[in-house]
Chain A
């Protein structure tokens, strides 16, 4: 047995197997982490829908509205979004994402908003502007924006 372990082939295959296991378990852990974040944000979004957007989640007059992500995926991306502006408030904007889901984007004092090469303020944003947001989700189903890029249509 000891002689077998000492051979180069055994060590080589041992390393290959270990590397494969690390890759598989690592990928699985990453998937669980990302999925947990996404599910958590989707849950917060759903729970705070009335508070954020007004009206019941399933819509008025029995029109059922369920959040539908891209391709039928029921979870919403939590760390950013791409969409067009529906409404502008003092410190936040409501956008309709590419996944047809409304999201509230909080614009803080440290949020950088760029249009072409200029840094602009929230007051310079317009309805129907296409924006890309990088940020972090909060517990109210909103995204605290760190960076916003306005695309010219």
Chain B
């Protein structure tokens, strides 16, 4: 009951405030202040656009690095004969199972770990940058548009 009364009273207060302000002339800032505010907004907008462009460029650079490292991973895997080894899983599954330790060790030995690590790190940075860019754009829509 008390809550309903409170809400009703707040509604009345809001209506009264609206009525008061509807009768007042719109307040305009002084010319100097207006000019300073305008300059600050333009500067802020420029800084944000530069930041956005920098993030976008970083994204493109990381994307190309990820593409290059992933390409290197596939090249190394095809050169190392790992694909032929994997094909044994389909052609000679029982024999692979009988020698699963050696099979697994060969696969682990022939993995290009540095390139895979580079690729995964690049992907991680890409995801991070994507999140930052989306967040940045969401928070600054009114300035970037």
Residues of A within 8 A of B (CB): 30-31, 34, 37-38, 70-71, 77-83, 97-99, 112, 114, 132, 134-136, 146-147, 149, 151
Contacts and interface: CB of A to CB of B under 8 A. Distances in A.
A34 B102 contact: no
A78 to B, nearest CB: 7
B109 A134 contact: no
Given A70-B79, A98-B79, A82 B103 contact: no
A13 B98 CA distance: 40
A33 to B, nearest CB: 9
B85 interface: yes
Interface of B: 72, 76, 79-81, 84-85, 88, 91-92, 95-96, 98-99, 101-103, 105-106, 108-110, 112-113, 115
Contacts, number: 76
B99 A146 contact: yes
A144 B108 CA distance: 19
B80 A80 contact: no
B109 A38 contact: yes
Interface of B is mostly: helix
27 contacts: A31-B113, A37-B109, A70-B79, A70-B80, A70-B110, A71-B79, A77-B80, A77-B106, A78-B105, A79-B102, A79-B109, A80-B102, A81-B81, A82-B81, A82-B84, A98-B81, A132-B84, A132-B85, A132-B88, A134-B88, A134-B103, A146-B99, A146-B102, A147-B88, A147-B95, A147-B96, A149-B88
